[in-house]
């Protein structure tokens, strides 16, 4: 049985292979800028998924494979409206406030929360955190739901910036 | 973090650190270079230093 963490790292390795084959195709002579942007969009989104997986792995490694609380948010449950005849026409609701913890392995654990957790616990520097935030924003922009502006103009420079995050994360695992 | 008994599995499936020939076979492409050179060496020659370094670092991590 291969531990989950190893499987994830193995998948990261496979994705780096996939990125490589696309990067190699980018060297094709006579490739138009539109085609280059299309290839870069693909490698950038793949690289973003690698960064997210590595952030997860860094947290796992720094917590001896445990499942730490990544963030804690207040939720309001059992909401009950109070009759307007009692409140004098004012709309009032009573509810039970409850602190809800999000664990690393929860499906609700977000990339943004993991990045902040890394920063707050000193796993990454402020500068590295900014880079992780750049990666997250880039990933969100490429998502179809996030496309609001012209979806082109992806470049090698953006690709390199995302890879810098990969390069500083790997040694932290 | 990584147990040693998984190394065999990793070595079998982890191809980016292998030769250009192994990579070509995996993806069914022809890079028209010496198939015996390391794939990461090829990437460096092609100006993809950062990609080669990432592969190298991950390779070390997986096989440490």
**Chain B interface includes A66 (CB < 8 A):** no
Measured between its terminal Cα atoms, the distance across chain B in Å is 10
Cα(B3)–Cα(A146) distance, integer angstroms: 39
At A80-130, the pLDDT tens digits run 888 888 888 888 999 999 999 999 999 989 999 999 999 999 999 999 999
Q: Give the number of other CB atoms < 10 A from CB of residue B41.
A: 14
At B35-64, the pLDDT tens digits run 999 988 999 998 899 999 998 888 888 776
Give how far the C-alpha of residue A71 lies from the chain's centroid of Cα atoms, to the nearest Å.
14
Per domain, the residue ranges of chain B are 4-62
For the stretch B17-22, contacts whose Cβ atoms lie closer than 8 Å and that sit 24 or more positions apart, written own/partner, are: B17/B55, B17/B56, B17/B59
For the cut 60, the answer to whether the pLDDT of residue B13 exceeds it is no
Contact A97, A74 (CB under 8 A): yes
Determine the residue of chain B that is closest to A165 in CA distance.
B54
Structure token pair of residue A110: 């977000």
What is the pLDDT, as a whole number, of residue B45? 92
Structure token pair of residue A40: 């870069």
At A32-90, the pLDDT tens digits run 999 999 999 999 999 999 999 999 999 999 999 899 999 998 888 888 888 888 888 88
- Which domains does chain A show, CATH number per domain? 4-68+104-172 (1.20.120)
Q: ipTM of this complex > 0.90? A: no
Contact A44, A158 (CB under 8 A): yes
> What percent of chain B is helix, strand and coil (3-state, nearest 5)?
60, 5, 35
Interface test with B, best of A5, A6, A60, A160 (most B CBs within 10 A): A6
C-alpha dist (Å) from residue A118 to A58, A126, B20: 8, 10, 36
Question: Could you say which of A10, A23, A60 has the minimum Cβ distance to residue B13?
Answer: A10
What is the pLDDT, as a whole number, of residue A1? 43
Four-CA torsion A6, A10, A60, A169, nearest 10 degrees: 150
**Chain B interface includes A24 (CB < 8 A):** yes
Determine the residue of chain B that is closest to A62 in CA distance.
B1
Which residues in chain A have their CB less than 8 angstroms from residue B31's CB?
A: 24
């Amino acid at each position: 049985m291969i531990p989950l963490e190893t499987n994830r790292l193995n998948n990261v390795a496979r994705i780096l292979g996939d990125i490589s084959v696309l990067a190699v195709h980018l060297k094709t002579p006579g490739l138009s800028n539109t085609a280059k942007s299309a290839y870069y969009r693909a490698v950038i989104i793949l690289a973003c998924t690698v960064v997210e997986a590595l952030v997860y792995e860094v947290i796992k490694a720094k917590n001896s494979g445990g499942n730490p609380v990544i963030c804690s948010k207040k939720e309001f449950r059992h909401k009950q409206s109070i009759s307007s005849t009692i409140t004098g026409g004012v709309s009032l609701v009573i509810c039970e406030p409850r602190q809800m913890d999000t664990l690393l392995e929860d499906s609700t654990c977000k990339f943004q929360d993991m990045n902040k957790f890394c920063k707050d616990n000193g796993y990454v520097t402020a500068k590295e955190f900014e880079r992780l935030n750049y990666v997250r924003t880039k990933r969100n922009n490429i998502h179809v739901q996030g496309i609001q502006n012209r979806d082109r103009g992806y470049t090698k420079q953006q690709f390199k910036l995302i890879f810098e995050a990969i390069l500083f994360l790997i040694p932290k695992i | 973090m990584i147990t040693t008994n998984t190394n065999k599995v990793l070595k079998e499936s982890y191809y980016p650190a292998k030769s250009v020939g192994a990579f070509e076979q995996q993806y069914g492409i022809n890079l028209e270079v010496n198939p015996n050179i390391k794939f990461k060496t090829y990437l460096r020659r092609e100006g993809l230093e950062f990609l080669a370094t990432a592969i190298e670092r991950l390779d070390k991590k997986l096989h440490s």
